[in-house]
């Protein structure tokens, strides 16, 4: 069973794009634009904590007065408005997570990394290449047993890892050996005897007069027990042999690698100790031993160990619906503004800081574990189908949706267990429930539907008994708040204007699963069994992947959850006109989608042409490199004939001329040497002058008429001297 203190509002296939978005201006008001101020009162219904920038364990304050920052309120309201207005999920990191799952020999990770079939795992050296990086490909690594390393180095390496109860890094191992990149000699390589037909791994033993290679060690996650059974601990390291070629890394190769090893992370999970160790050497111009797999002639992915973290096939953004990549402005962007590399729009809504004004009581400092599973935990963060195999980031997938922390019942908060690890605890001093905050909301030039959307997000479309939550430790019930708007006249008129506009594009908006999930999570429930608002144990996290398939189901389907719905303000007399507008909008969207498909096809064709051109350039460079390094004039001539207009053609022609001269000189030298050898042999016959003279005449005639003399002035000159 999976439980979590959070759940998800599913993403919609459709996004509401307000037709007036391109007309938004701070200088030119809408004809029906409104500006004004609304007083806001927030009452904490459970203990609340907002982190202070200067003193992170204390509640946010200035001159000893507590307040909720405007940015916190704005972020809270915007996140609700994005869901209610069917806006894009635009603020999402496009990370590619990595996985190292050794739980089963048949899972997708072990199938990829098992070395039973292609692609095989290569080894090599990562190093800087100007502004980029490359890997020296050393082909398949060989394995060498710890006891063989002792023979090669004179150390007691093997004994270091027997019955050791904690993880050892590669740095720890190199410190034992005394140095990195240590050269050793090994005997003949051999294959595994356990599964020789499929297992492509290579093994070797130390030999004092064998083949030279470089000893590479990797981390030791568990002690060696030498039971003779599978999984009894790592007992082998690696030998890298000479590199065969260099492979340039793409920007994505490095981005995925750095993300997998938590590069520069200072919070849990922190940067990998192995990467911290090797990074310093790389930055100083050194080489880092890595393992990698190839896709054709390129590196597909790589890591610091043989069973390294494998990047998933898809990034997080690949799980978004197509509509969320649309360049048009959604309602949240239109109201709150946005910024990107090409453009920006200032928001037309500002919140003040909300100052604590009454019932202020400080609670004792407490330390709680606020950890949460990373988005790579696919049973929760990837939308799953019941009773089917898990969908992962390796598959075509949909992300689970907008993450929300359901409201806890009452004013109580959950206390977490002390893990004994101070690094994972968060210390903070909250304020007691009942504290009241007051501030203001200022809006400028908002259309009636926009103001309605803002009010709808603040009041959950004026739905009673709904609460927001804000600040830290929402997973434990902290930050549950009630919002009151002081004197908003004609609230229903504004809410209806918003509802009518969004329903033009999103039929049955008020009954949508998105709004049901949002409102249900915003109301108090009798949470029990699978609806408990608590994290699973670490054991459950692992077992839910490998045992019986469990996934996080939608909140409204969980135990004892009462579904909440919005009260629609659309009347019967509105429906006919709304239906006609919906038909028109659907036709417009269909036509727009058709145009977008045509544009995508053109872009795809252009990319294919560019890719073909890139491949031609790469092939030309490859053939040039082959020709310029060749000793065969014909290969060079073939290149000249094929690429007459190549920018480096003069260089290759000069190479051909030089090579031809060298070959001609070499040929002449051989002929000259033959002439000298024959002449020296003839001199040994001088004792018999009559015979010598006769042989000499034959020698002169032969070399004077010889075809081998062609182009060699040396021989003819020497013959003249002999005469």
Tens of pLDDT, residues 551-567? 899 999 999 999 999 99
Same domain, 131 and 245: yes
Would you say the pTM of this structure is higher than 0.85? no
Whether residue 375 has pLDDT greater than 90: no
* CA 510/CA 566 separation, integer angstroms: 6
Whether residue 122 has pLDDT greater than 80: yes
In a domain, 571, yes or no: no
Residue with tokens 């709004």: 515
- pLDDT band at residue 374 using 50, 70 and 90 as cut-offs: confident
List residues bridging with 468 in a β-sheet: 481
Mean pLDDT of 247-261: 94
- pLDDT band at residue 188 using 50, 70 and 90 as cut-offs: very high
In a domain, 289, yes or no: yes
In a domain, 585, yes or no: no
Residue with tokens 């009454």: 358
pLDDT at position 231, please? 57
Whether residue 475 has pLDDT greater than 90: yes
In a domain, 295, yes or no: yes
Given 506, 521, 551, the domain boundary residue is: 506
Same domain, 50 and 122: no
pLDDT at position 519, please? 98
Same domain, 459 and 345: yes
Same domain, 349 and 493: yes
Same domain, 182 and 125: yes
Percent of the chain scoring above 70 in pLDDT? 95
- pLDDT band at residue 459 using 50, 70 and 90 as cut-offs: very high
- pLDDT band at residue 196 using 50, 70 and 90 as cut-offs: low
Whether residue 708 has pLDDT greater than 80: no
In a domain, 584, yes or no: no
Note down the domain range covering 53: 13-94+319-377+403-506
In a domain, 514, yes or no: no
Higher pLDDT among residues 542 and 144, named by residue: 144
For CA atoms 646, 650, 655, 656, give the dihedral sign.
Answer: positive
548-582 b/e with 16+ CB inside 10 Å = b? eebbbebbbebeebeebebebbeeeeeeeebeeeb
Same domain, 88 and 102: no
- C-alpha dist (Å) from residue 97 to 187, 314, 382: 40, 8, 13
Same domain, 57 and 103: no
Task: Label residue 654 exposed, middle or buried (CB < 10 Å: 0-12, 13-18, 19+).
Answer: exposed
Same domain, 287 and 426: no
CB of 336 closer than 8 Å to CB of 347: yes
pLDDT digit string (tens) for 398-429? Answer: 999 999 999 999 999 999 876 555 567 899 99
pLDDT at position 387, please? 66
> How many Å separate Cα 408 from the centre of its chain?
34
Number of structural domains in the chain: 3
In a domain, 296, yes or no: yes
Same domain, 472 and 443: yes
- pLDDT band at residue 107 using 50, 70 and 90 as cut-offs: confident
Mean pLDDT of 188-206: 81
Whether residue 363 has pLDDT greater than 80: yes
Residue with tokens 């033009």: 504
Same domain, 350 and 484: yes
Q: What is the mean pLDDT of the chain?
A: 89
Same domain, 118 and 179: yes
Higher pLDDT among residues 628 and 472, named by residue: 472
């Amino acid at each position: 069973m999976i439980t979590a203190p959070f759940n998800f509002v599913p993403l919609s296939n459709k996004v509401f794009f307000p037709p007036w978005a391109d007309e938004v201006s701070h200088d030119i008001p809408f004809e029906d634009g409104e500006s004004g101020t609304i007083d806001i009162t927030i009452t904490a219904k459970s203990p609340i904590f907002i982190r202070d920038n200067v003193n992170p364990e204390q509640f946010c304050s200035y001159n000893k007065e507590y307040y909720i920052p405007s940015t916190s309120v704005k972020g809270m309201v915007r996140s609700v408005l994005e869901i209610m207005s069917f806006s894009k999920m635009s603020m999402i990191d496009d990370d590619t997570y990595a996985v190292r799952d050794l739980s089963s020999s048949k899972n997708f990770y072990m199938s990829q990394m098992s070395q039973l079939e292609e692609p095989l795992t290569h080894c090599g050296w990562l190093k800087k290449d100007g502004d980029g990086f490359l890997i020296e490909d050393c082909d398949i690594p060989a394995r060498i047993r710890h006891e063989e390393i002792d023979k090669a180095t004179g150390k007691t390496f093997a004994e270091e890892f027997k019955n050791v109860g904690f993880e050892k890094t590669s740095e720890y191992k190199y410190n034992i050996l005394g140095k990195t990149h240590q050269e050793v000699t090994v005997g003949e390589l051999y294959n595994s005897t356990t599964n020789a037909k499929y297992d492509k791994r290579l093994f070797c033993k130390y030999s004092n007069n064998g083949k030279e290679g470089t000893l590479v060690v990797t981390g030791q996650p568990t002690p060696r027990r030498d039971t003779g059974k599978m999984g009894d601990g790592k007992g082998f390291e690696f030998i890298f042999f000479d590199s065969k070629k260099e492979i340039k890394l793409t920007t994505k190769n490095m981005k995925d690698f750095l993300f997998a090893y938590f590069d520069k992370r200072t919070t849990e999970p922190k940067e990998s100790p192995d990467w911290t160790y090797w990074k310093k050497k790389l930055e100083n111009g050194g080489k880092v031993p890595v393992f990698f797999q190839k896709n054709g002639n390129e590196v597909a992915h790589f890591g610091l160990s043989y069973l390294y973290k494998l990047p998933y096939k898809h990034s997080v953004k690949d799980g978004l619906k197509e509509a969320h990549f649309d360049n048009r402005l959604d309602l949240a962007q239109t109201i709150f503004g946005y910024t990107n590399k090409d453009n920006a729009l200032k928001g037309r809504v500002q919140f003040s800081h909300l100052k604590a004004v009454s019932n202020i009581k400080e609670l004792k400092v407490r330390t709680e574990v606020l950890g949460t599973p990373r988005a790579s935990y696919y049973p929760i963060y990837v939308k799953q189908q019941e009773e089917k195999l898990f969908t992962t980031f390796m598959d075509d997938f949909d992300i689970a949706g907008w993450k929300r922390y359901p409201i806890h019942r009452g004013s109580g908060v959950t206390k977490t267990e002390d893990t004994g690890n101070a690094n994972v605890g968060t210390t903070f001093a909250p304020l007691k429930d009942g504290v009241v905050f007051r501030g203001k909301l200022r809006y400028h030039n908002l259309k009636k539907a926009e103001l309605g959307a803002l009010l709808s997000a603040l009041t959950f479309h004026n739905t009673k008994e709904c609460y927001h939550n804000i600040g830290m430790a929402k997973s434990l019930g902290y930050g549950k708040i009630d919002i009151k708007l002081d004197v908003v006249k004609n609230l229903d008129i504004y809410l209806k204007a918003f509802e009518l506009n969004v329903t033009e594009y999103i039929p049955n908006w008020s009954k949508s699963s998105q709004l049901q999930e949002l409102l249900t999570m915003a109301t108090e429930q009798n949470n029990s069994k699978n609806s408990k608002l608590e994290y699973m144990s670490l054991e459950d996290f692992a077992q839910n992947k490998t045992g019986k398939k469990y996934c996080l189901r939608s909140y409204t389907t969980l135990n004892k959850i009462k579904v909440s719905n919005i009260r629609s303000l659309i009347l019967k007399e509105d429906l006919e006109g709304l239906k006609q507008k919906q038909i028109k909008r659907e036709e417009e969207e269909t036509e727009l989608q058709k145009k977008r498909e045509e544009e995508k096809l053109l872009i795809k064709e252009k990319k294919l042409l560019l890719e073909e051109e890139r491949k031609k350039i790469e092939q030309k460079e490859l053939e040039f490199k082959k020709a310029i390094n060749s000793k065969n004039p014909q290969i060079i001539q073939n290149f000249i004939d094929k690429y007459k207009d190549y920018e480096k053609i003069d260089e290759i022609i000069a190479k051909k001329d030089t090579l031809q001269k060298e070959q001609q000189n070499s040929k002449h030298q051989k002929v000259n040497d033959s002439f000298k050898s024959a002449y020296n042999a003839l001199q040994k016959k001088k004792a018999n002058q009559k015979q010598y003279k006769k042989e000499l005449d034959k020698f002169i005639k032969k070399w004077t008429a010889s075809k081998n003399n062609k182009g060699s002035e040396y021989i003819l000159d020497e013959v003249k001297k002999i005469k």
